[in-house]
Amino acid sequence: MKVTPDIVTQEFLGTETRVARSSHKDYVGIHGRIMDETRNTFKILQNEKTKTIAKDSSVFHFKLQDGTVVEIEGSLLVGRPEDRLKKRTRRLW
């Protein structure tokens, strides 16, 4: 899979993720599957417990279906999932 700026418009439910960096030190290192997504948060299932992580203060590593790991700034993901899918993204590189 080719990584493009359109990656931020993808659906992330069920995707493996890890919090790489965050302004909240306790969030760093949390990993698991995304179980729910709201405008400002991801709910990640880790060891049978659900952790709620703020998007705008974190950087995430997502493991895509083909095994590629992508780092995405959480501030690019803020917004309701259904609105983010419709939004056009400008080229980041």
Task: Kindly state the tokens that stand for 58.
Answer: 């974190």
What is the pLDDT at residue 1? 47
What value does the mean pLDDT take over residues 18-28?
94
In the chain, domain spans: 5-79
Task: Kindly state the tokens that stand for 80.
Answer: 């309701």
Give the DSSP letter of residue 23. Answer: S
Q: What is the pLDDT of residues 39-91, one digit of tens each?
A: 999 999 999 999 999 999 999 999 988 888 999 999 888 888 777 767 665 65
pLDDT band at 36 (very low <50, low <70, confident <90, very high): very high
CATH code of the domain made up of 5-79: 2.30.30.210
